[in-house]
Amino acid sequence: MGLKKIILVGYMASGKSAVGRKLHEQLNYDYYDLDNYIEIKYGTSVENIFKTKGELYFRQIERKSLENIITIKKNLIVSLGGGTPCYFDTIDFLNSINETKTFFLKATINTIHERLKKSKIKRPLISHLIEEMEIKEFIGKHLLERNFFYEKSEKKIYTDKKTVNAVANEIIKTLG
C-alpha cells in the first residue's frame, strides 16, 4: 500500500481541525493544521500576516507552505484554511497528486452558525458582525463563492449532527 495523504477542505467551523486531530489519533499519521504551520514558520498569527502584509502575500505563503507539507514522504493529514482551495489552482493541484485524497467537510449554514457562535471572538473574519442574521448572511454569501472549489474535492462528507468520531470513521472507511 502506498502513501496516503488526507486533505480536509471546508468552510470555517466545518470540523477540519477537530477531525484532523481525531484522524491523527486513530491512524497515527502526521497531522498538520495549515494555519498553525504558517504561524509557527513565520512567527506570527495568520490575522497579523493579513493585516501587515495583505491577503495576496498570505495566499502565496499559504500555497508554498502547503507544497512543503505535501512533499513530506509520510502518511499525513492536512487541515486547510477555509480559503486555501479557492486560490491559484490549489484544489486541482491537490487532486492531481496520486496518493492524495481530498475530503470536503460539508455543513449547512445553520450548523456553521451554531458552531461559530461559540467561537466568534476567535474568528476575525466575522468578529465585527453582531446580529445573527448578519452572520448567517455572511456565511451564505461566502459559501456561495467558495462551494465551487470545495465541491471539486474527491469525497464529500456531511458533518451536520455528526460527532467528530463519526466523521473521522467515515473518512477512514473510504480509504480502503
Number of Cβ within 10 Å of residue 155's Cβ equals: 15
Q: How much is the average pLDDT of 20-31?
A: 97
Q: Are 61 and 39 in contact (CB under 8 A)?
A: no
120 or 168, greater pLDDT: 168
Reply yes or no on domain 5-161 having CATH 3.30.1360.20.
no
| CB contact burial 51-80 (16+ within 10 A = b; e otherwise) | eeeeeeebbeebbebbeebbeeeebbbbbb
For residues 13 and 25, is the Cβ–Cβ distance under 8 A?
no
Question: pLDDT tens digit string along 31-73?
Answer: 999 999 999 999 999 889 988 998 899 999 999 999 999 998 8
Mean pLDDT of 15-43: 96
Is the confidence at residue 115, as pLDDT, over 90?
A: no
Domain ranges of the chain: 5-161
The pLDDT > 70 percentage for the chain reads 92
**To the nearest whole number, what is the mean pLDDT of the chain?**
91
Q: Which of 15-29, 49-63, 113-127 has the lowest mean pLDDT?
A: 113-127
How sure is the predictor about 132, in pLDDT bands with cuts at 50, 70 and 90? confident
Per-residue pLDDT, 119: 66
DSSP codes joined into one string, 110-154: HHHHHHHHHHGGG-TTTTT--SHHHHHHHHHHHHHHHHHHHTTSS
Q: What is the distance between the alpha carbons of residues 59 and 87, in angstroms, rounded to a whole number?
A: 7
Instruction: Please give the model's pTM, rounded to 2 decimal places.
Output: 0.93
DSSP string, 52-107: HH-HHHHHHHHHHHHHHHHTSSS-EEEEPPTTGGGSTTHHHHHHTSTTEEEEEEE-
